[in-house]
């Protein structure tokens, strides 16, 4: 063995292998070099023979320069925060490619002069919501709130119902976020009931605005009351509606979900929302409302720190102007069709000798949208032992575990990926048998 080790090829020699030269141009030289060094170390330990170093380095190459892996979402949660919320439409992905290079995001090709940044994305958003006099876009929903609180209420009061002091997720509490701007929260009402008189009593010369927040990840039942935007609009101060999910118009499938157009028509001075929830676009914070207020936000110094990049603007425009994005498609899938796909998958697996059962499931919107809404769906159940293999396979498939079984809910799986899912299960089952 020691003799053998002297024959371990030098790093430069291995890097000259045409496969690794090609990989270096796609992945970067350092990444490839690290794979070579790891392979040389394996040879030094005697794990592989010296002649196998190049092959081992090639086998260890990452598939791309990003270590983010694409995931097939079989969780049944349409907007899964841990899986990146909304999947973009093909049109939005194309737009990202266009914007990736140099682009006229802030330049007028006709005149050769500077132009308003992101004007076409903003115009598309404005055209989609005629009820808004003006629009602006920032990094996410939280940034939209921070900018609004800073510009309209720093050092002053924001009046909020105690029933709407919510935690968005992962420990982020909306009241703390708003207070971090230097605004004070004037709490009114109780957890379950707040009435117009509570707001009216609290509004005064120190009020910046009334904030109406959509409790987007829970529902309260029973002895409850809250005050709609239409009634709050009668108060003497601006009403800001944080609708959360980014629906631009009412959606008959989600009757309890607020939307930008209705909120503005009911008298909200400003609406804030996320771009990557029910709108189905990139992470972004949408601000829609009265011209003077939007202008005030746009011109605030903080706006520069929260501005979106060209990729976001491109994907947002394509999401709004382009074909129905996956998020909205997934919410609309007919359950009977999802069932037929689940049955086809079960039958295909049966031919491979793999036991899968078809199961009726309930998908949810998730990710801060349409709490309590269940979308009838279908999937297959498999041996729980396959869960880890499917998660770490290629493609990665994430389902959910219930009662000792792995459930793959097909509602949010692109039908075009059904064959890949079948193949991945077959592969995982074969590995499981060999182990």
Ligand X SMILES: *Cc1c(COP(=O)(O)O)cnc(C)c1O
Dihedral of CA atoms 406, 407, 410, 412 in degrees, nearest 10, equals -90
Task: Give the separation between CA 178 and CA 154, rounded to whole angstroms.
Answer: 9
Task: Give the separation between CA 182 and CA 156, rounded to whole angstroms.
Answer: 8
The residue (of 194 and 216) whose beta carbon lies closer to ligand X is 216
Tokens of 253: 């499938």
Task: Give the separation between CA 100 and CA 106, rounded to whole angstroms.
Answer: 14
**Contacting residue, 76, 118, 208, 244, with ligand X by CB under 6 A:** 244
Tokens of 308: 């979106």
Q: Work out whether 213 is an interface residue with ligand X (CB under 6 A).
A: yes
**CB of 275 vs ligand X, minimal distance in Å:** 7
Task: Give the separation between CA 167 and CA 288, rounded to whole angstroms.
Answer: 23
**CB of 168 vs ligand X, minimal distance in Å:** 5
Task: Give the separation between CA 146 and CA 136, rounded to whole angstroms.
Answer: 14
**Contacting residue, 141, 163, 208, 326, with ligand X by CB under 6 A:** 141
Contact 332, 365 (CB under 8 A): no
Q: Residues touching ligand X: how many (CB under 6 A)?
A: 13
Q: Work out whether 150 is an interface residue with ligand X (CB under 6 A).
A: no
Q: Work out whether 140 is an interface residue with ligand X (CB under 6 A).
A: yes
The residue (of 142 and 397) whose beta carbon lies closer to ligand X is 142
The residue (of 189 and 285) whose beta carbon lies closer to ligand X is 285
Q: Work out whether 142 is an interface residue with ligand X (CB under 6 A).
A: yes
Contact 61, 23 (CB under 8 A): yes
**Contacting residue, 274, 319, 361, 363, with ligand X by CB under 6 A:** 274
CA angle 305, 306, 312 (to 5 degrees): 130
**Contacting residue, 214, 310, 341, 346, with ligand X by CB under 6 A:** 214
Contact 399, 381 (CB under 8 A): no
Contact 364, 373 (CB under 8 A): yes
**CB of 274 vs ligand X, minimal distance in Å:** 3
**CB of 370 vs ligand X, minimal distance in Å:** 10
Q: Work out whether 263 is an interface residue with ligand X (CB under 6 A).
A: no
Q: Work out whether 168 is an interface residue with ligand X (CB under 6 A).
A: yes
**CB of 93 vs ligand X, minimal distance in Å:** 20
Minimal CB distance to ligand X: which residue? 141
Sheet strands (E) in 221-295: 239-244, 270-274, 285-289
**CB of 80 vs ligand X, minimal distance in Å:** 13
The residue (of 285 and 289) whose beta carbon lies closer to ligand X is 285
Report helix, strand or coil for 231: helix
Return the range that interacts with ligand X (CB under 6 A); candidates 15-23, 38-46, 138-146, 383-391: 138-146
Q: Which of residues 360-379 bind ligand X (CB under 6 A)?
A: 368
CA distances from 14 to 4, 42, 146, 284, 387 (A): 17, 14, 53, 45, 37
Q: Work out whether 317 is an interface residue with ligand X (CB under 6 A).
A: no
The residue (of 87 and 174) whose beta carbon lies closer to ligand X is 174
**CB of 178 vs ligand X, minimal distance in Å:** 10
The residue (of 251 and 423) whose beta carbon lies closer to ligand X is 251
**CB of 140 vs ligand X, minimal distance in Å:** 3
Q: Is 77 exposed, middle or buried (0-12, 13-18, 19+ CB in 10 A)?
A: buried
The residue (of 15 and 213) whose beta carbon lies closer to ligand X is 213
The residue (of 217 and 381) whose beta carbon lies closer to ligand X is 217
Half-sphere exposure of 278 (CA within 13 A, CB side): 26
Task: Give the separation between CA 337 and CA 342, rounded to whole angstroms.
Answer: 9
Instruction: Name the nearest CA neighbour of 77 among 418, 417, 410.
Output: 410
The residue (of 261 and 283) whose beta carbon lies closer to ligand X is 283
Half-sphere exposure of 83 (CA within 13 A, CB side): 23
Return the range that interacts with ligand X (CB under 6 A); candidates 111-119, 135-143, 391-399, 402-410: 135-143
Q: Work out whether 258 is an interface residue with ligand X (CB under 6 A).
A: no
The residue (of 243 and 354) whose beta carbon lies closer to ligand X is 243
**CB of 25 vs ligand X, minimal distance in Å:** 37
**CB of 285 vs ligand X, minimal distance in Å:** 6
Task: Give the separation between CA 118 and CA 135, rounded to whole angstroms.
Answer: 11
β-partners of residue 113 are 108
Q: Work out whether 413 is an interface residue with ligand X (CB under 6 A).
A: no
- Find the DSSP H helices in 266-307: 291-299, 301-305
Which residues form the interface with ligand X (CB under 6 A)?
Answer: 140-142, 168, 174, 213-214, 216, 242, 244, 274, 285, 368
């Amino acid at each position: 063995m020691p003799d053998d080790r002297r024959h371990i090829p030098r790093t430069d020699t291995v890097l000259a292998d045409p496969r690794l030269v090609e990989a270096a141009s796609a992945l970067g030289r350092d990444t490839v070099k690290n794979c070579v060094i790891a392979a040389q170390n394996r040879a030094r330990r005697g794990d592989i023979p010296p002649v196998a170093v190049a092959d081992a380095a090639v086998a260890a190459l990452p598939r791309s320069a990003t270590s983010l892996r694409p995931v097939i979402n079989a969780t049944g949660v349409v907007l899964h925060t841990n899986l990146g919320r909304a999947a973009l439409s093909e049109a939005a992905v194309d737009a990202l490619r266009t914007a990736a290079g140099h682009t006229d995001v802030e330049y007028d090709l006709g005149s050769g002069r500077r132009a308003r940044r992101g004007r076409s994305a903003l115009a598309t958003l404005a055209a989609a919501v005629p009820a808004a006099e003006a629009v602006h876009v920032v990094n996410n929903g939280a940034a939209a709130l921070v900018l609004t609180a800073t510009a309209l209420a720093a050092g002053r009061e924001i009046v909020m119902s105690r029933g709407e002091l919510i935690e968005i997720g992962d420990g982020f509490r909306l009241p703390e976020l708003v207070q971090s701007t230097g605004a004070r929260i004037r709490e009114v009402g109780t957890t379950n009931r707040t009435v117009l008189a509570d707001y009216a009593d609290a509004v005064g010369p120190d009020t910046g605005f009334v904030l109406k927040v959509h409790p987007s990840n829970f529902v309260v039942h029973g002895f409850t009351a809250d005050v709609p935007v239409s009634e709050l609009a009668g108060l003497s101060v601006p009403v800001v509606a944080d609708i959360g999910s980014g629906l631009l118009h009412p959606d008959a499938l989600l009757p309890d979900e607020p939307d930008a157009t209705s909120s503005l028509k009911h008298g909200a001075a400003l609406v804030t929302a996320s771009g990557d929830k029910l709108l189905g676009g990139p992470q972004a914070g949408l601000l829609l409302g009265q011209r003077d207020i939007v202008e005030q936000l746009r011109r605030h110094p903080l706006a520069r720190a929260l501005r979106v990049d060209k990729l976001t603007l491109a994907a947002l425009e394509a999401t709004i102007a382009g074909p129905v994005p996956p998020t909205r498609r997934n919410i609309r899938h007919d359950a009977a069709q999802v069932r037929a796909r689940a049955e086809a998958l079960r039958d295909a697996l049966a031919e491979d000798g793999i036991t899968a059962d078809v199961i009726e499931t309930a998908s949810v919107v998730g990710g801060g949208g349409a709490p309590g809404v269940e979308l009838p769906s279908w999937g297959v159940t498999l041996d729980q032992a396959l869960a880890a293999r499917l998660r770490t396979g290629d493609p990665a498939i994430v389902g959910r575990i219930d009662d000792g079984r792995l459930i793959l809910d097909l509602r949010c799986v692109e039908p075009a990926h059904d064959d890949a899912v079948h193949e991945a299960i077959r592969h995982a089952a074969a590995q499981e048998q060999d182990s």
